A and B are shown apart, each in its own frame.
Chain A
Amino acid sequence: MIQPSASAASLLEARALTRDFDEGQVRALRGVDFSIKEGDFVAITGPSGCGKSTLLQLLGALDRPTSGTLFYRGESLPDHPNPAAYRARDVGFIFQAFHLLPTFTAAENVQIPMFEIDRSVSERREHAFELLKLVGLDHRLDHFPAKLSGGERQRVAIARSLANGPSLLLADEPTGNLDSENAHSVLELLIRLQQEQGRTMVLVTHDPAIAGRAGRILRMKDGQIVSDGKP
């Protein structure tokens, strides 16, 4: 059963969230509390191993917390009856390593998430074209990932994350594998998309300069949020 949230105004709300591994020997998250409003751009920052990526996985329903509660639009995510549907419709992931499928072209990669929603073949193709145009890659539709630069691959990944019009973008070190020029342009693209389209974005980074572009920064250390505020 989906449990009701105490604060229905928040898009995401975590209460006493923990995540243990190896039967409790490793405590990745130790009681995390926060709430994120619709349209927020939040950066999660902290040293390696502090639990940033683990938290992002919980937000994206890729993993389940050991204890505590996590609400999305007032519904408990760990109790979500169909986590795949949540990932398909409500969340767009952008990974550090792009994670494009090598045997599919740019346009096909963007279409992959669309199989989970009701779109015809031509609608999928047209929408992929629109999204690649949005990220400035409408001239690279039929290129396979191996033929694209790092920056271009991440733009394809961004287009893919937008495929089903999610409210929430989750980006895990999205510029971590890019040179500074590409990192800058990808970050600007993400910020533009977040602002223009009013999406909520949670971005994990250990780069203070990137975190500084967010509207709010959650600083983590040893599995806990040690500060929560504006840059």
Chain B
Amino acid sequence: MTREELLTKLKTIIAPYVQNQEKFKNLNENTDFINDLEINSANLVDVVLDVEDEFDIEIDNDAMEKMLTVKASLEVIENKLALK
């Protein structure tokens, strides 16, 4: 899977939790889930669970604690996919 494809899938996953649509339109790798997209912190868990389901990977605590930005999340997904 290319980075582009990963990004598209990630965007679909986070869409339902986004509260700042303006920032979502201009999403890039540096976009921050909480500060930019205003995703509620309790919904970050849903993002993590949705990512696990979508990519059939397991995200442990060490990986989860990094998943606050688009870039960090893509890296976590890539690392976990490479281990499969």
B partners with A: no
CB within 8 Å of A: which residues of B?
none
CB within 8 Å of B: which residues of A?
none
